[in-house]
Amino acid sequence: MAYLFTSESVSEGHPDKVADQISDALIDNFLAFDSESKVACETLVTTGQVILAGEVKSNTYLDVQKIARDTINKIGYTKSEYMFDGNSCGVFSAIHEQSEDINRGVDRASKDEQGAGDQGMMFGYATRETENYMPLALDLSHRILKELAELRRENNDITYLRPDSKSQVTIEYSDDNLPQRIDAIVVSTQHDDFDEDEDMLAKIRKDIVDILIPRVVAKLPEHIQVLFNDDITYHINPTGKFVIGGPHGDTGLTGRKIIVDTYGGKGAHGGGAFSGKDPSKVDRSAAYATRHIAKNMVAAGICDEILVQVSYAIGVVEPTSIFVDTYGTCPFNITDGEIAEKITAIFDMRPAAIESRLKLRQPMYSETAAYGHMGRDAETVSKTFSQPHGETITLDVELFTWEKLDYVDMVKSAFGL
Protein backbone atom coordinates (compact mmCIF):
# COMPACT_ATOMS: atom_id res chain seq x y z
CA MET A 1 0.00 0.00 0.00
CA ALA A 2 1.30 3.49 -0.87
CA TYR A 3 2.35 5.67 2.03
CA LEU A 4 3.22 9.30 2.75
CA PHE A 5 6.43 10.69 4.26
CA THR A 6 7.11 14.29 5.30
CA SER A 7 10.17 16.40 6.10
CA GLU A 8 10.53 20.06 6.99
CA SER A 9 13.17 22.76 6.75
CA VAL A 10 13.61 26.22 8.25
CA SER A 11 15.31 29.27 6.76
CA GLU A 12 18.45 31.10 7.82
CA GLY A 13 16.14 33.71 9.38
CA HIS A 14 14.38 31.24 11.66
CA PRO A 15 15.31 32.16 15.26
CA ASP A 16 16.87 28.76 16.04
CA LYS A 17 18.94 29.00 12.86
CA VAL A 18 20.02 32.55 13.73
CA ALA A 19 21.39 31.09 16.97
CA ASP A 20 23.11 28.23 15.11
CA GLN A 21 24.75 30.63 12.66
CA ILE A 22 26.09 32.89 15.41
CA SER A 23 27.52 29.89 17.29
CA ASP A 24 29.20 28.53 14.16
CA ALA A 25 30.53 31.95 13.18
CA LEU A 26 32.29 32.00 16.57
CA ILE A 27 33.68 28.50 15.92
CA ASP A 28 35.07 29.61 12.55
CA ASN A 29 36.74 32.69 13.98
CA PHE A 30 38.36 30.73 16.80
CA LEU A 31 39.64 28.05 14.39
CA ALA A 32 40.90 30.63 11.89
CA PHE A 33 43.39 32.04 14.40
CA ASP A 34 43.96 28.91 16.53
CA SER A 35 43.10 25.66 14.75
CA GLU A 36 43.37 23.68 18.01
CA SER A 37 40.70 25.75 19.78
CA LYS A 38 38.24 23.82 21.91
CA VAL A 39 34.83 25.51 21.80
CA ALA A 40 31.30 24.74 22.93
CA CYS A 41 29.23 27.87 22.39
CA GLU A 42 25.47 28.25 22.79
CA THR A 43 23.45 31.24 21.61
CA LEU A 44 20.03 32.52 22.66
CA VAL A 45 18.25 35.17 20.59
CA THR A 46 15.07 37.02 21.51
CA THR A 47 13.57 40.48 21.07
CA GLY A 48 16.50 42.89 20.73
CA GLN A 49 18.89 40.60 22.56
CA VAL A 50 21.61 38.01 21.95
CA ILE A 51 23.10 35.95 24.79
CA LEU A 52 26.29 33.94 24.24
CA ALA A 53 27.31 31.24 26.70
CA GLY A 54 29.74 28.36 26.66
CA GLU A 55 33.27 27.13 27.21
CA VAL A 56 36.41 27.94 25.25
CA LYS A 57 40.06 26.94 25.34
CA SER A 58 41.95 28.99 22.75
CA ASN A 59 45.06 31.10 22.21
CA THR A 60 43.16 33.80 20.36
CA TYR A 61 40.94 36.68 21.42
CA LEU A 62 37.81 37.65 19.47
CA ASP A 63 35.31 40.48 19.40
CA VAL A 64 32.36 38.14 19.87
CA GLN A 65 29.92 41.04 19.84
CA LYS A 66 30.99 42.14 16.35
CA ILE A 67 30.88 38.55 15.05
CA ALA A 68 27.32 38.16 16.31
CA ARG A 69 26.22 41.48 14.80
CA ASP A 70 27.83 40.77 11.43
CA THR A 71 26.12 37.37 11.30
CA ILE A 72 22.71 38.85 12.08
CA ASN A 73 23.11 41.55 9.42
CA LYS A 74 24.22 39.00 6.83
CA ILE A 75 21.07 36.95 7.47
CA GLY A 76 18.97 40.05 6.76
CA TYR A 77 17.86 41.40 10.12
CA THR A 78 18.83 44.98 9.36
CA LYS A 79 15.67 46.99 10.07
CA SER A 80 14.38 48.31 13.38
CA GLU A 81 10.78 47.31 12.53
CA TYR A 82 11.88 43.66 12.81
CA MET A 83 12.42 44.33 16.56
CA PHE A 84 15.72 42.52 16.17
CA ASP A 85 18.55 43.86 14.05
CA GLY A 86 22.30 43.43 14.01
CA ASN A 87 23.18 47.08 14.54
CA SER A 88 21.02 47.78 17.61
CA CYS A 89 20.46 44.50 19.45
CA GLY A 90 22.17 43.89 22.77
CA VAL A 91 24.88 41.23 22.85
CA PHE A 92 25.77 39.71 26.22
CA SER A 93 28.66 37.23 26.50
CA ALA A 94 28.95 34.66 29.29
CA ILE A 95 31.65 32.59 27.59
CA HIS A 96 34.25 31.19 29.98
CA GLU A 97 37.20 28.77 30.00
CA GLN A 98 36.73 25.07 29.25
CA SER A 99 36.65 22.70 32.22
CA GLU A 100 39.98 20.95 32.81
CA ASP A 101 38.00 17.83 33.77
CA ILE A 102 36.70 17.62 30.20
CA ASN A 103 39.93 18.72 28.55
CA ARG A 104 42.09 16.04 30.20
CA GLY A 105 39.93 13.34 28.63
CA VAL A 106 40.38 14.78 25.14
CA ASP A 107 43.94 16.12 24.89
CA ARG A 108 46.74 13.55 24.95
CA ALA A 109 50.50 13.69 24.45
CA SER A 110 49.96 12.08 21.05
CA LYS A 111 47.32 13.70 18.84
CA ASP A 112 46.40 10.27 17.44
CA GLU A 113 45.36 9.15 20.92
CA GLN A 114 42.91 12.01 21.38
CA GLY A 115 39.87 10.81 23.32
CA ALA A 116 36.26 11.40 22.35
CA GLY A 117 34.93 14.71 23.66
CA ASP A 118 31.78 13.06 24.97
CA GLN A 119 29.87 9.80 25.10
CA GLY A 120 26.94 9.12 22.79
CA MET A 121 25.89 7.63 19.48
CA MET A 122 25.95 9.29 16.06
CA PHE A 123 24.25 8.27 12.83
CA GLY A 124 25.00 8.68 9.14
CA TYR A 125 22.51 7.95 6.39
CA ALA A 126 22.46 7.86 2.59
CA THR A 127 19.94 6.79 -0.04
CA ARG A 128 19.99 6.51 -3.81
CA GLU A 129 16.76 8.53 -3.88
CA THR A 130 18.44 11.76 -5.01
CA GLU A 131 21.63 12.75 -6.80
CA ASN A 132 23.11 13.99 -3.51
CA TYR A 133 22.13 10.75 -1.72
CA MET A 134 19.66 12.56 0.54
CA PRO A 135 16.00 11.87 1.35
CA LEU A 136 13.87 13.62 -1.27
CA ALA A 137 11.36 15.30 1.07
CA LEU A 138 14.13 17.04 3.02
CA ASP A 139 16.09 17.94 -0.11
CA LEU A 140 13.04 19.65 -1.61
CA SER A 141 12.23 21.42 1.66
CA HIS A 142 15.74 22.88 1.75
CA ARG A 143 15.58 23.87 -1.93
CA ILE A 144 12.31 25.75 -1.44
CA LEU A 145 13.74 27.90 1.34
CA LYS A 146 17.07 28.54 -0.39
CA GLU A 147 15.17 29.75 -3.44
CA LEU A 148 12.90 31.87 -1.24
CA ALA A 149 15.99 33.50 0.30
CA GLU A 150 17.31 34.19 -3.22
CA LEU A 151 14.04 35.91 -4.11
CA ARG A 152 14.21 37.96 -0.91
CA ARG A 153 17.71 39.16 -1.67
CA GLU A 154 16.90 39.89 -5.32
CA ASN A 155 13.92 41.97 -4.14
CA ASN A 156 12.51 42.06 -7.68
CA ASP A 157 9.73 39.53 -8.30
CA ILE A 158 8.70 39.45 -4.64
CA THR A 159 9.44 42.57 -2.60
CA TYR A 160 7.73 42.00 0.76
CA LEU A 161 9.70 39.04 2.14
CA ARG A 162 11.30 39.05 5.59
CA PRO A 163 13.99 36.56 6.74
CA ASP A 164 11.98 34.04 8.81
CA SER A 165 10.35 31.12 6.96
CA LYS A 166 9.59 27.39 7.12
CA SER A 167 8.77 24.74 4.54
CA GLN A 168 7.46 21.18 4.55
CA VAL A 169 7.11 18.60 1.78
CA THR A 170 5.01 15.41 1.81
CA ILE A 171 5.77 12.71 -0.75
CA GLU A 172 3.74 9.66 -1.71
CA TYR A 173 5.81 6.47 -2.00
CA SER A 174 4.97 3.15 -3.62
CA ASP A 175 5.19 -0.21 -1.83
CA ASP A 176 8.74 -0.62 -3.10
CA ASN A 177 9.74 2.73 -1.53
CA LEU A 178 9.92 4.75 -4.75
CA PRO A 179 8.59 8.35 -4.78
CA GLN A 180 5.44 8.65 -6.91
CA ARG A 181 4.33 12.26 -6.54
CA ILE A 182 4.44 15.36 -4.35
CA ASP A 183 1.32 15.23 -2.19
CA ALA A 184 1.57 18.48 -0.20
CA ILE A 185 3.79 21.53 0.22
CA VAL A 186 3.70 23.90 3.18
CA VAL A 187 5.40 27.31 3.07
CA SER A 188 5.15 29.86 5.87
CA THR A 189 7.03 33.07 5.19
CA GLN A 190 7.41 36.22 7.21
CA HIS A 191 6.39 39.34 5.28
CA ASP A 192 6.00 43.10 5.49
CA ASP A 193 2.73 44.46 6.83
CA PHE A 194 -0.14 44.88 4.35
CA ASP A 195 -3.23 47.12 4.49
CA GLU A 196 -5.64 44.30 3.59
CA ASP A 197 -5.05 40.86 5.11
CA GLU A 198 -7.11 38.92 2.56
CA ASP A 199 -5.38 40.59 -0.39
CA MET A 200 -2.05 39.92 1.28
CA LEU A 201 -2.74 36.21 1.73
CA ALA A 202 -3.93 35.83 -1.86
CA LYS A 203 -0.85 37.56 -3.23
CA ILE A 204 1.56 35.53 -1.10
CA ARG A 205 -0.11 32.28 -2.17
CA LYS A 206 -0.01 33.26 -5.84
CA ASP A 207 3.65 34.31 -5.66
CA ILE A 208 4.72 31.11 -3.90
CA VAL A 209 2.84 28.82 -6.31
CA ASP A 210 3.50 30.77 -9.52
CA ILE A 211 7.00 32.20 -8.91
CA LEU A 212 8.84 30.28 -6.19
CA ILE A 213 7.84 26.69 -6.96
CA PRO A 214 8.53 26.92 -10.74
CA ARG A 215 12.01 28.29 -9.96
CA VAL A 216 12.64 25.34 -7.65
CA VAL A 217 11.33 22.79 -10.16
CA ALA A 218 13.41 24.25 -13.00
CA LYS A 219 16.61 23.39 -11.13
CA LEU A 220 15.64 19.75 -10.51
CA PRO A 221 16.51 16.72 -12.64
CA GLU A 222 13.72 15.51 -14.95
CA HIS A 223 12.84 12.42 -12.93
CA ILE A 224 12.10 14.67 -9.92
CA GLN A 225 10.31 17.36 -11.95
CA VAL A 226 7.65 14.84 -13.01
CA LEU A 227 6.64 14.34 -9.36
CA PHE A 228 5.17 17.85 -9.36
CA ASN A 229 1.62 18.15 -10.70
CA ASP A 230 -1.55 20.24 -10.47
CA ASP A 231 -2.95 18.07 -7.67
CA ILE A 232 -0.45 19.19 -5.02
CA THR A 233 -2.13 20.54 -1.89
CA TYR A 234 -0.53 23.86 -0.94
CA HIS A 235 -0.68 25.34 2.56
CA ILE A 236 0.74 28.86 2.23
CA ASN A 237 0.95 30.86 5.47
CA PRO A 238 -1.87 28.68 6.85
CA THR A 239 -2.26 30.72 10.05
CA GLY A 240 -2.69 33.91 8.01
CA LYS A 241 -0.70 37.02 8.83
CA PHE A 242 3.02 36.47 9.56
CA VAL A 243 4.53 39.92 10.13
CA ILE A 244 5.94 39.32 13.63
CA GLY A 245 8.68 36.71 13.25
CA GLY A 246 12.33 35.96 13.79
CA PRO A 247 13.71 36.30 17.32
CA HIS A 248 10.99 38.86 18.12
CA GLY A 249 8.27 36.33 17.41
CA ASP A 250 9.96 33.28 18.92
CA THR A 251 13.06 32.82 21.05
CA GLY A 252 15.84 30.94 19.24
CA LEU A 253 18.40 28.55 20.70
CA THR A 254 21.43 26.76 19.27
CA GLY A 255 20.85 23.09 18.49
CA ARG A 256 17.06 22.95 18.31
CA LYS A 257 16.80 21.95 14.65
CA ILE A 258 18.82 18.72 14.62
CA ILE A 259 16.43 16.84 12.32
CA VAL A 260 16.44 19.69 9.80
CA ASP A 261 20.24 19.62 10.05
CA THR A 262 20.47 15.92 9.19
CA TYR A 263 17.99 13.67 7.33
CA GLY A 264 14.52 15.05 7.92
CA GLY A 265 13.39 12.10 10.03
CA LYS A 266 14.78 9.39 7.75
CA GLY A 267 17.41 7.07 9.20
CA ALA A 268 18.03 8.01 12.83
CA HIS A 269 19.57 10.69 15.05
CA GLY A 270 21.67 10.26 18.19
CA GLY A 271 20.32 13.45 19.76
CA GLY A 272 23.46 15.61 19.76
CA ALA A 273 23.44 19.00 18.05
CA PHE A 274 26.27 20.18 15.77
CA SER A 275 26.47 23.98 15.76
CA GLY A 276 28.71 25.68 18.27
CA LYS A 277 30.94 22.64 18.75
CA ASP A 278 34.54 22.25 17.62
CA PRO A 279 35.39 18.90 15.94
CA SER A 280 36.76 17.28 19.11
CA LYS A 281 33.08 16.90 20.00
CA VAL A 282 32.11 13.62 18.34
CA ASP A 283 28.47 14.74 18.28
CA ARG A 284 29.60 16.73 15.29
CA SER A 285 32.69 15.07 13.82
CA ALA A 286 31.44 11.48 14.03
CA ALA A 287 28.07 12.43 12.54
CA TYR A 288 29.97 13.87 9.57
CA ALA A 289 32.17 10.77 9.41
CA THR A 290 29.21 8.38 9.37
CA ARG A 291 27.55 10.42 6.61
CA HIS A 292 30.82 10.18 4.66
CA ILE A 293 30.81 6.40 5.11
CA ALA A 294 27.13 6.04 4.19
CA LYS A 295 27.39 8.15 1.06
CA ASN A 296 30.48 6.33 -0.22
CA MET A 297 28.90 2.93 0.48
CA VAL A 298 25.78 3.73 -1.55
CA ALA A 299 27.80 5.38 -4.34
CA ALA A 300 30.00 2.27 -4.52
CA GLY A 301 26.94 0.10 -5.11
CA ILE A 302 27.07 -1.83 -1.84
CA CYS A 303 23.43 -0.97 -1.17
CA ASP A 304 20.67 1.46 -2.17
CA GLU A 305 20.12 2.76 1.37
CA ILE A 306 22.18 2.57 4.53
CA LEU A 307 22.24 3.70 8.14
CA VAL A 308 25.58 3.73 9.97
CA GLN A 309 25.79 4.14 13.76
CA VAL A 310 28.94 4.75 15.77
CA SER A 311 29.19 5.20 19.55
CA TYR A 312 31.84 6.56 21.92
CA ALA A 313 32.75 6.87 25.60
CA ILE A 314 34.16 10.21 26.76
CA GLY A 315 37.94 10.23 26.82
CA VAL A 316 38.18 6.84 25.06
CA VAL A 317 39.98 6.68 21.72
CA GLU A 318 38.30 3.78 19.91
CA PRO A 319 34.54 3.68 19.23
CA THR A 320 32.56 1.41 21.50
CA SER A 321 30.52 0.09 18.53
CA ILE A 322 29.78 0.39 14.82
CA PHE A 323 26.37 -0.75 13.53
CA VAL A 324 25.01 -0.96 9.98
CA ASP A 325 21.50 -1.35 8.56
CA THR A 326 21.13 -1.62 4.77
CA TYR A 327 17.34 -2.10 4.97
CA GLY A 328 17.60 -5.25 2.86
CA THR A 329 18.97 -3.31 -0.14
CA CYS A 330 22.39 -4.99 -0.35
CA PRO A 331 22.41 -7.26 -3.45
CA PHE A 332 25.37 -9.34 -2.27
CA ASN A 333 25.52 -12.39 -0.04
CA ILE A 334 26.84 -10.50 2.97
CA THR A 335 25.23 -9.59 6.27
CA ASP A 336 25.00 -6.11 7.75
CA GLY A 337 27.31 -7.28 10.55
CA GLU A 338 29.94 -8.29 8.00
CA ILE A 339 29.51 -4.94 6.25
CA ALA A 340 30.14 -3.20 9.59
CA GLU A 341 33.38 -5.17 10.01
CA LYS A 342 34.58 -4.08 6.58
CA ILE A 343 33.68 -0.47 7.33
CA THR A 344 35.76 -0.68 10.52
CA ALA A 345 38.74 -1.84 8.46
CA ILE A 346 38.33 0.89 5.80
CA PHE A 347 37.49 3.95 7.92
CA ASP A 348 39.54 4.90 10.99
CA MET A 349 36.91 6.22 13.41
CA ARG A 350 39.22 7.48 16.14
CA PRO A 351 38.39 11.16 16.81
CA ALA A 352 41.78 12.50 15.67
CA ALA A 353 41.65 10.36 12.51
CA ILE A 354 38.23 11.77 11.66
CA GLU A 355 39.47 15.32 12.16
CA SER A 356 42.43 14.64 9.87
CA ARG A 357 40.55 12.69 7.17
CA LEU A 358 37.79 15.29 6.83
CA LYS A 359 40.02 18.33 7.53
CA LEU A 360 37.72 19.46 10.31
CA ARG A 361 40.12 21.92 11.95
CA GLN A 362 39.36 24.49 9.23
CA PRO A 363 36.95 27.43 9.74
CA MET A 364 34.33 25.61 7.67
CA TYR A 365 31.23 25.67 9.83
CA SER A 366 29.28 28.89 9.17
CA GLU A 367 28.09 27.44 5.87
CA THR A 368 26.69 24.36 7.62
CA ALA A 369 24.42 26.28 9.98
CA ALA A 370 21.48 26.76 7.58
CA TYR A 371 19.84 24.50 4.98
CA GLY A 372 21.35 21.29 6.32
CA HIS A 373 24.77 19.90 7.16
CA MET A 374 24.37 16.96 4.78
CA GLY A 375 23.78 16.72 1.04
CA ARG A 376 25.70 19.91 0.28
CA ASP A 377 28.38 20.50 -2.36
CA ALA A 378 32.02 19.96 -1.39
CA GLU A 379 33.88 23.05 -2.57
CA THR A 380 36.79 25.34 -1.72
CA VAL A 381 36.15 28.99 -0.88
CA SER A 382 38.25 31.92 0.29
CA LYS A 383 37.32 33.35 3.70
CA THR A 384 38.69 36.38 5.54
CA PHE A 385 38.73 36.81 9.33
CA SER A 386 39.74 39.77 11.51
CA GLN A 387 40.80 40.17 15.14
CA PRO A 388 40.06 43.21 17.35
CA HIS A 389 43.68 44.41 17.25
CA GLY A 390 43.59 44.57 13.45
CA GLU A 391 45.15 41.29 12.31
CA THR A 392 43.41 39.92 9.22
CA ILE A 393 43.83 36.47 7.74
CA THR A 394 42.53 35.05 4.45
CA LEU A 395 42.29 31.28 4.10
CA ASP A 396 41.24 28.83 1.41
CA VAL A 397 38.72 26.59 3.17
CA GLU A 398 37.32 23.25 2.01
CA LEU A 399 33.62 22.99 2.77
CA PHE A 400 31.51 19.87 3.33
CA THR A 401 34.44 17.47 3.01
CA TRP A 402 32.23 14.65 4.32
CA GLU A 403 30.24 14.86 1.07
CA LYS A 404 33.20 13.79 -1.07
CA LEU A 405 33.00 10.45 -2.88
CA ASP A 406 36.72 9.89 -2.35
CA TYR A 407 36.46 6.41 -0.80
CA VAL A 408 34.33 4.75 -3.49
CA ASP A 409 37.25 2.90 -5.12
CA MET A 410 38.57 1.78 -1.73
CA VAL A 411 35.11 0.48 -0.77
CA LYS A 412 34.73 -1.38 -4.07
CA SER A 413 38.14 -2.96 -3.61
CA ALA A 414 37.36 -4.07 -0.06
CA PHE A 415 34.13 -5.70 -1.23
CA GLY A 416 35.75 -7.27 -4.30
CA LEU A 417 33.76 -5.24 -6.82
Average pLDDT per run of 10 along the chain, which is 417 residues long?
95 98 98 96 97 95 96 96 95 84 57 79 97 98 98 96 98 95 97 86 96 98 96 95 94 98 96 96 97 98 98 94 97 96 97 97 98 98 93 96 98 94
- Residue 120 φ/ψ region, left for φ over 0, alpha for ψ in the -120 to 50 degree band, beta for the rest: left
Q: According to the model, what pLDDT value does residue 183 have?
A: 98
Binding residues for Mg(2+): 16
Contact call for residues 301 and 417 (beta carbons, < 8 A): yes
Binding residues for ATP: 14, 164-166, 241-242, 250, 256-257, 273, 277
Q: According to the model, what pLDDT value does residue 1 have?
A: 75
DSSP 113: G
Q: According to the model, what pLDDT value does residue 328 have?
A: 95
**Pick from 273, 317, 360: which is nearest to 107 by CA?**
317
User: Using CA atoms, how far apart are residues 165 and 371, in angstroms rounded to an integer?
Assistant: 12
Q: According to the model, what pLDDT value does residue 10 have?
A: 98
Q: According to the model, what pLDDT value does residue 103 have?
A: 56
Please report the domains of the chain, with CATH numbers, ordered by start residue: 3-9+135-244 (3.30.300.10), 16-99 (3.30.300.10), 120-128+261-414 (3.30.300.10)
Length of the chain measured in residues = 417
Q: According to the model, what pLDDT value does residue 138 have?
A: 98
Binding residues for L-methionine: 55, 98, 250, 281
User: Using CA atoms, how far apart are residues 79 and 92, in angstroms rounded to an integer?
Assistant: 20
Binding residues: 14, 16, 42, 55, 98, 164-166, 241-242, 250, 256-257, 273, 277, 281
CB neighbours of 392 closer than 8 A, spacing ≥ 6?
A: 384, 385, 386
pTM (two decimals) = 0.95
Q: According to the model, what pLDDT value does residue 115 have?
A: 77
Binding residues for K(+): 42
Q: According to the model, what pLDDT value does residue 29 have?
A: 97
Q: According to the model, what pLDDT value does residue 195 have?
A: 78
